[in-house]
């Protein structure tokens, strides 16, 4: 329906750097992928999660869950455009981290004194099963 509309661009898949570049210049994201839940808070972008696929997954305050009807999606878009909703995005931090977990883990491994760790005596692979 929208393939010839200049306001819409459709991609089957994008390389991560291209995706993130488009993402950070977007006003909001809409869909039902984990990206809207896990990454959008870092960029302080509203996300509308449509349908049940991500039900039960923790989401930050920038995520609006809605059903798949035109009315519910329209209401979600109106909500994310509200001044109150936009205001709460300013101080949001991503509960899934800041993207530097690999660096933090590496630095912890490099600086930790492993000599103080008490080694287990038993080998679970050689223990007799009950």
- pLDDT tens digits for range 45-102: 999 999 888 888 889 999 999 999 999 999 999 999 999 999 999 989 888 887 788 8
SS3 letters across the chain:
CCCCCCCCCCCCCCCHHHHHHHHHCCCCEEECCHHHHHCCCCCCCCEEEECCCCCCCCCCCCEEEECCCHHHHHHHHHHHHCHHHHHHHCCCCCCCCCCCHHHHHHHHHHHCCHHHCCCCCCCCCCCCCC
Q: Is the pTM of this model over 0.85?
A: no
């Amino acid at each position: 329906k929208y393939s010839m509309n200049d306001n819409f661009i459709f991609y089957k898949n994008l390389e991560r750097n291209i995706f993130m570049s488009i993402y950070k210049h977007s006003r909001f994201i809409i869909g039902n992928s984990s990206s809207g839940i896990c990454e959008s808070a870092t960029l302080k972008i509203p996300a509308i999660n449509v349908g049940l696929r991500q039900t039960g997954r923790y989401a930050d305050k920038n995520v609006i869950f809605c059903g798949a009807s035109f009315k519910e999606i329209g209401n979600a878009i109106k909500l994310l455009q509200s001044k109150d909703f936009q205001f709460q995005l300013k101080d949001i931090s991503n509960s899934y981290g800041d993207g530097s977990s690999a660096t933090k883990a590496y630095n912890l491994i490099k600086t930790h004194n492993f000599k103080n760790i008490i080694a287990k005596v038993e080998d679970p692979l050689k223990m007799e099963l009950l």
